[in-house]
A and B are shown apart, each in its own frame.
Chain A
Amino acid sequence: MPVIEGTYGLLAEFDTPTQLVRAAEGAYAAGYRRMDCYTPYPVEEAAAAIGFHKDEVSLVCLIGGLLGVAAMFGLETWISVWAYPLNIAGRPYYSWPAFVVPAYEWTILFAGLSAAFGMLALNGLPQPYHPLFNAPNFRNGATSDKFFLCLEATDPKFELGDSRAFLERLAPLSIVEVEY
């Protein structure tokens, strides 16, 4: 992989979620698209402000659940009818009501694992390194009490001087240029 150098983006720090949401709305209105907000707890309004509305976690979860129920019900049927048919008190080999219980458990198992790992995968986690961790104030605040807006350099509208001037109008606590 080629070494990426240069500026990752401009990171503006805010004190309250309201200031962050106003800033994000402003940046979106000004035409910025490649940006992200970082908060110490979920702020849905900030996600909406940068134009992120829909996530695919539910779909992944649904697919996982369907796979789980199909896998277990199929396994039970195959075992009880073909692989190892046992006569249990004269009940039919294909006793589907009894098969419902393990199939139900596996629906939940697969759906739950898909939701959890699907969420991580869609988020691109685990990702131990990220350029933002180079910003000294980011590590101090993003996971405890500060709110961040990062305009990324890959945005076509991004221009170091202009973007910095734009962010300064939003009255942040600080603006940091983040290097790769």
Chain B
Amino acid sequence: MSRYILQRIGRGLLTIFVSLTLTFFIIRLMPSNPVELMIDPHMSQETQDMLMEKFGLDKSFGEQYILFLKGVVQGDLGVSFGSRANVTELIAQKLPWTLLLIGIVLLLVVIIGIPVGVLAAKRKGRLSDRIISIVVTMGISIFIPFLAFLLLYLFSFRLGVLPTAGAYTPPKGEGFSYVLDIARHAILPAVTLSVMMLANAVLYTRNSMIDVLKEDYIRTAYSKGLDKKRTLKVHALKNALIPTVTVIGLQIGVMVGGSVMTETVFSWPGIGRMIYDAVTALDYPVLQGGFLLMSVSVVLMNFLTDLVVAWLDPRIKLGGK
């Protein structure tokens, strides 16, 4: 087991290293330059050179790369070109907001997505299943930014019941009213983010549940005298959850950095928004930090997913024995 964990960590680190290297060079190959974006065209050549030197951009790619790697190892991701803030601190500040959204999404998947998927499988072919299937198909195919704007328009502008932007109404409040305020702000982004996740959870749970219900061991369970409810709960669900967990786990990993669109539309102060801002400003250090976080979270979620699947399915032996 410990050997397995070591192997996994090794492979994870390699993955992160490769993705870091790729992003480092790709963002530098973009046909623009941060200094050009932030400086006044009338600025003198000397000032420009000074800025370039200050950002370390006067050095060769190779040198920059070595310095960057050194920083990463020491936990120093550099300083933002724009706000001059320490990138590590910046991420530490933004990450909780993104994790909050993900937490809500996961909760919804567990309390809504999986039960609805089970229900649809139980009523396969009947009206309720068909309605669920239509809604799920819509959920999967909808263009997320469009949905975000639609919700924003409906609930914030037309009805005016929910706030339009941010995570809380400044100034920062205290106690229960603060929590309530955040919750009100989180509703729209969380709903937007949940749509696809929920649709996937329902779809995968339904389909694998239908397959599992055809298995011989379900018939065996009935033959022992079990009723439908117990058969579904004890014998079918654990088997049916394996594909759902795999898919949701991987998607959550991507979501840490991937909810750029949603966070931007709702001005949610999370990682997605941070990456969006960094892209427009070509803020290399922040971009690198964002992508590093993304690859770490994907690797981490992969590992966690494997652990959960192995716990569900005893046939899977982690690392073999």
Tell me if chain B binds chain A: no
